[in-house]
A and B are shown apart, each in its own frame.
Chain A
Amino acid sequence: MIRSFGWESVEFLIRGAGWTLLLSLMTFVIGGFFALIFALLRTLGPRPVRLAIAGFIQLVQATPLLIIVFLAFYGLSFVGLHFPPMVAAGVSLAVYTTAFLADIWRGCIEAIPKQQWEAADALALTRTQQLRYVILPQAFKISLGPTVGFMVQIVKNTSVVALIGFVELTRAGQLLNNMTFQPFHVFLTVAAIYFAICYPLSFLSERLKGNRHARPAH
């Protein structure tokens, strides 16, 4: 048992950070999968579908993450879906990830000039081919920077699952503080670990965006 802040505590926090990483990855994969579908349907789907997705995105973006995760996590159980806690936490976070990523990616698809569609059309490509070979590859390039940037948000925001009892980095910090009552040491270390994970991502994100700006503007 841990009594005061020492090497054992750091080990405990690093273990928590492992869960944070795993949870972030899972959230990104699940959220990314749905976000791609949503982004495509939001730009190209039939009108009712577009409106429904826009509504979903609006609502999720207007609710605090804490509340979304809470409602999604226990909502799953309320409707009779019983996942293992890890998966349930991932799915709850994915609700919010989907809403934001779908929106980012939609913006990227819409940023492709109309002439690109027209040119592809002139080449007699089918609608799917236009997307597959002309639009999405360009949109993908634009999306890299913002997407990696959003990963930083995912990593930081996994901290809210502490609310539902999942022991990741932030919750590990809280538990450690409950045992040691040395908040300065504990949370400074927690912050340092988050920074070590997030800063490289932020840096990469800026680089990816920078490269885009470095190209001629038109």
Chain B
Amino acid sequence: MNLFLKLRSVTLATAFAVAAGTAASVPAKAQTLGEIAQKGTVTIGVLTGIPPYDTVDASGKTAGFLVDLANDVAKNLGVKAEIVPVNNASRAAALESGRVDMLIAHMTATPERARTFLMTNPYGAYEMRFVARKDMPLKKLDDLAGKRVSVPKGSTQDAAVSGFGIKGLEVVRFDDDALAMQALISGQVDATAAVAAVANDVIKKNNLTDLEVKSDVPIFTLYWSMAVRKNANELHRWLNNYIYYSEVSGSLGDLHQKWVGIPIPGGKLPTF
């Protein structure tokens, strides 16, 4: 029946269109320095939506610490940067699927995650603190008994606070740091486990005079690593080299100072 022939040819045409579209689209994922050079661009997944580490202007353009860092990585590779915004839920898939060549996305190198990706030496660090109302006493961890504490879902804060084993403490999980903070501001939780620099920034900019970063109970200082796919050894080594060099040359610290307003916490960055 010629109708079905027609349908079949339409289907075929579609298949060809898809194939052609593929050929013309972004080159496939790059694993080595050579492949990146050949491609002329490096695709970098960058976590967005967490001021002051990044910010968006009215035209929708993202700028910030991680974006500047990503651009600097590309510059040092001698190629153009293609920045892909990612979030907590999508970053792993973005790297694993080949949508991006590397991630600079505030990831802590846990041994469990390192089974899936290669994590670089840390490029930055953050101090985790509890933020709560000024009138809520928080001198020791046990003061959190029976309280509700918000954290970003699946983050290291999540793992840490869930692991304290404090009686009656309820961990409330949100999609990102800002929503966890929002929950505290709207009064849905008693405290949030947040990056101290972020919390201070939010409290200052939004004039939240009834909140404070609790200084008596430090949670920990954690370090952020970049990530590449498992078999990208060469790229991994190059990034470690890059991070080492930008730290000793001071450019990394300057960048952090510029956006976050403080030096990278925790002193000299560790290597592993």
Please tell me whether chains A and B touch each other in their complex, using a CB distance cut-off of 8 A.
yes
Number of chain A interface residues as a range? 35 or more
Are A128's CB and B26's CB within 8 A?
Answer: no
| In the complex, residue of chain A having the shortest beta-carbon distance to the beta carbon of B11 | A37
Question: Nearest Cβ distance between residue B29 and chain A, in whole angstroms?
Answer: 7
Residues of B near A44 (CB, < 8 A) are 3-4
Stretch of A82-90, A111-119, A143-151 with 4 or more beta carbons under 8 angstroms from chain B? A82-90
Please, how many angstroms separate the alpha-carbon atoms of A172 and B48 in the complex? 12
Residues of A near B1 (CB, < 8 A) are 127-128
Are A41's CB and B25's CB within 8 A?
Answer: no
Are A77's CB and B181's CB within 8 A?
Answer: no
Q: Does B22 contact A (CB under 8 A)?
A: yes
| In the complex, residue of chain A having the shortest beta-carbon distance to the beta carbon of B1 | A127
Which residue from B87, B181, B202, B206 sits with its C-beta under 8 Å from A165?
B87
Are A131's CB and B25's CB within 8 A?
Answer: no
Q: Does B241 contact A (CB under 8 A)?
A: no
Q: Does A177 contact B (CB under 8 A)?
A: yes
Are B48's CB and A82's CB within 8 A?
Answer: no
Please, how many angstroms separate the alpha-carbon atoms of A77 and B101 in the complex? 12
Residues of A near B98 (CB, < 8 A) are 77-78, 80, 82
Please, how many angstroms separate the alpha-carbon atoms of A137 and B90 in the complex? 44
Q: List CB contacts (< 8 Å) of B1-58 with chain A.
A: 1-4, 6-7, 10-11, 14, 18, 21-22, 25-29, 48-51, 55-58
Q: For A15, A41, A77, A163, which residue has the most chain B Cβ atoms within 10 angstroms?
A: A77
Which residue from A82, A172, A175, A176 sits with its C-beta under 8 Å from B99?
A82
Which residue from B3, B26, B50, B176 sits with its C-beta under 8 Å from A84?
B26
Question: Nearest Cβ distance between residue B14 and chain A, in whole angstroms?
Answer: 8
Are B58's CB and A82's CB within 8 A?
Answer: no
Number of chain B interface residues as a range? 35 or more
Q: List CB contacts (< 8 Å) of A16-48 with chain B.
A: 16, 33-34, 37, 40-41, 44-46
Which residue from B2, B11, B26, B206 sits with its C-beta under 8 Å from A82?
B26
With known contacts A45-B4, A45-B7, A82-B26, A172–B97 Cβ distance under 8 A: no
Q: Does B85 contact A (CB under 8 A)?
A: yes
Question: Nearest Cβ distance between residue A205 and chain B, in whole angstroms?
Answer: 28
Q: List CB contacts (< 8 Å) of B82-102 with chain A.
A: 84-87, 89-90, 93-94, 96-99
Grouping DSSP codes into helix (H, G, I), strand (E, B) and loop, the A interface class, with mixed when no group exceeds half, is: helix
Which residue from A81, A84, A165, A183 sits with its C-beta under 8 Å from B186?
A183
Are A167's CB and B60's CB within 8 A?
Answer: yes
Residues of A near B7 (CB, < 8 A) are 37, 40-41, 45
Q: Does B271 contact A (CB under 8 A)?
A: no
Residues of B near A163 (CB, < 8 A) are 87, 89-90
With known contacts A1-B57, A82-B26, A175-B49, A126–B2 Cβ distance under 8 A: yes
Please, how many angstroms separate the alpha-carbon atoms of A127 and B7 in the complex? 13
| In the complex, residue of chain B having the shortest beta-carbon distance to the beta carbon of A16 | B60
Interface string of A58-83 (1 = CB under 8 A from B): 00000000000010001111101111
Are B28's CB and A2's CB within 8 A?
Answer: no
Q: Does B77 contact A (CB under 8 A)?
A: no
Interface string of B177-211 (1 = CB under 8 A from A): 01101100110000000000000001001101000
Are B202's CB and A181's CB within 8 A?
Answer: yes
Please, how many angstroms separate the alpha-carbon atoms of A11 and B59 in the complex? 8
Are A172's CB and B22's CB within 8 A?
Answer: no
| In the complex, residue of chain B having the shortest beta-carbon distance to the beta carbon of A41 | B7
Contacts A82-B99, A178-B182 given; 15 further ones with Cβ under 8 A? A2-B55, A15-B58, A15-B59, A37-B10, A44-B3, A44-B4, A70-B90, A82-B28, A127-B3, A165-B85, A165-B86, A174-B49, A175-B48, A179-B55, A183-B186
Sorted nearest first, the 3 A-B pairs with minimum C-beta distance are A77-B97, A178-B178, A74-B97
19 contacts between A and B (CB under 8 A): A1-B55, A2-B57, A2-B58, A15-B59, A37-B7, A37-B11, A45-B7, A76-B97, A77-B29, A77-B97, A77-B99, A81-B25, A82-B29, A83-B26, A84-B25, A128-B1, A175-B49, A178-B51, A181-B178
A contact residues vs B (CB 8 Å cutoff): 1-4, 8-9, 11-12, 15-16, 33-34, 37, 40-41, 44-46, 70, 74-78, 80-85, 87, 126-128, 131, 163-165, 167, 172, 174-181, 183
